[in-house]
Amino acid sequence: MDRLRPPRAELEALTPYEAKDVRAEVMLASNENPANVPGELLQKFSERAMHIPYNRYPDPLAGRLRELIAEANGLEPDNVLVGNGGDELIFDLLLAWGGPGRKLIDLPPTFAMYGIDAGMTGTEVIELPRRADFSIDGDAVLERLKPGDVDIVMIANPNNPTGTLASEPLLIDVLNSTDALVLVDEAYFEFSRHTMRPHMSRHQNLVILRTFSKAFSLAGLRAGYLLAHEDVICELTKVRQPYSVNRFTQLAAELVFRERPVFEAGISQLLRHRDMLVHGLSALREVTVYPSEANFVLFKVAGASMVWRDLLREHSVLVRDFSRAPGLEDCLRVSVGTEEEIGRFLAGMDEILSRRHASDLFGMAATASRHTKEEA
Ligand SMILES: *Cc1c(COP(=O)(O)O)cnc(C)c1O
């Protein structure tokens, strides 16, 4: 057959998530930890990797890792679900609580995967945009929950890509006003140090998401986890891919989780670097910087997509371009890197903006002289 039957009609509206794998010398686009896993842990990975029975399927529920995570959070193992990155768990949540005829409340601008996964699962998305300062419009959310027809709410806290932390009383109000599942996505918990964990005992509908991809340097291995009521976890195990977390990832995540104090110094350093980054960006003319509780900073600059392109082409610095996203016109997001990476980014920004300023002045001079000639 030289023809192909089309896939589901819904796919027409979707574009592959970041299909292009752009490389640069300074990678500040994905909120990864700029440092690889510390050497002593890498050494342990490789020693243990020699003894993994790769011919055998992994433990579907990553039992040992699950126990460690449960214990650290004062919970039971059946309150924990490990996934192939947080992204897989978000998809599982929508498979189980979303679907045709069911509704998600999304608070854009926010993490794009919520809307994408809703689209893939046929879940209706109710968008309640954030305010101009990216805080959640609490009144709108509580009002929309009143009819009782919402099935799931997703709240990134701190929010990605804006870095905004939600007010805890508002999150509690949301939990109190609905029986919908409420995901509080704490992918940046290790940076914000804010968690809704203490509220789990009172709210059966609270689900917390964490990941090994950001603070713990394991973006390449794909591991994340949910903390939730055992009934929620039980439902999710019905829709999840049984062997999604491979043996090597389970082992590495276990070693990292056991040794997580080793990451503390690096996290504190990244927080200091974030302050440097905010300070440096604020000093630039024409840049508006938004406060962040995570390891990235959102900023606004006129002609953002041109700035993005010049950073990449001329300075080999890759940041994330959000300028086409609704509510984020002219916004770019830069991840907190090493001191050197931040230096290169800021130097690039300074060069691009000074050059633009110079050519603006030149352009004005040229226009002025043309006018003079035309008038003459
Ligand atoms: C990075 C991120 C995740 C999960 O990332 P994984 O690499 O799939 O674990 C989840 N939510 C938000 C808001 C994120 O920024």
What's the fold here for domain 39-258? Aspartate Aminotransferase; domain 2 (3.40.640)
In this structure, the residue with its CA closest to atom 12 of ligand 1 is 187
> In a 10 Å sphere around its CB, with 0-12 CB exposed, 13-18 middle and 19+ buried, how is residue 122 labelled?
middle
Dist. CA 105–CA 122, nearest whole Å: 14
224 CA → ligand 1 middle, Å: 8
Runs of H (alpha helix) within the chain: 39-49, 63-72, 85-97, 112-121, 138-145, 168-177, 189-192, 230-239, 247-258, 264-282, 304-315, 339-375
Asked if domains 9-31+263-356 and 39-258 share a fold, the reply is no
Tokens of 229: 């009521």
Question: Which residue CA neighbors atom 2 of ligand 1 most closely?
Answer: 187
CB 202 within 8 A of CB 229: no
Of 107, 134, 185, the residue with max ligand 1 atoms within 8 A of its CB, to mutate for a pocket test, comes to: 185
| Interval 221-255: pLDDT, tens | 999 999 999 999 999 999 999 999 999 999 999 99
Q: Of 33, 213, 322, which is best to mutate to test ligand 1, by the most ligand atoms within 8 angstroms of its C-beta? A: 213
Q: What is the pLDDT of residue 356?
A: 87
The domain spans of the chain are 9-31+263-356, 39-258
**For 258-284, what is each residue's pLDDT tens digit?**
999 999 999 999 999 999 999 999 999
Residue 214 CA, closest ligand 1 atom number: 1
CA distances from 305 to 308, 321, 323, 325 (A): 5, 6, 6, 12
Full-model pTM: 0.94
- CA 185 to centroid of ligand 1, rounded, Å: 8
Among 230, 256, 222, 228, CA closest to 88:
222
Per cent of the chain over pLDDT 90 is 90
Q: How far is the CA of 49 from the centre of ligand 1 (A)?
A: 26
Mutate to test the pocket of ligand 1, among 116, 183, 190, 214 (most ligand atoms within 8 A of CB): 214
Q: Rounded to the nearest whole angstrom, what is the distance from the C-alpha of residue 271 to the centroid of ligand 1? A: 19
3-state secondary structure of 36: coil
Instruction: Please give the backbone phi and psi of residue 224, each rounded to the nearest 5 degrees, phi first.
Output: -150, 170
Residue stretches of the chain with pLDDT short of 50:
374-376
> How many degrees, rounded to 5, is the angle at CA 188 between CA 340 and CA 22?
50
Task: Write out residues with Cβ below 6 Å of ligand 1.
Answer: 85-87, 111, 156, 160, 185, 187, 211, 213-214, 219, 224
Query: What separation in Å is there between the alpha carbon of 88 and the centre of ligand 1?
Result: 9
- CATH topology for 9-31+263-356? Aspartate Aminotransferase, domain 1 (3.90.1150)
Distance 183 CA to ligand 1 centre (A): 13
Run of H or E including 81: strand 80-83
Q: Output the pLDDT for position 17.
A: 72
pLDDT of res. 127: 98
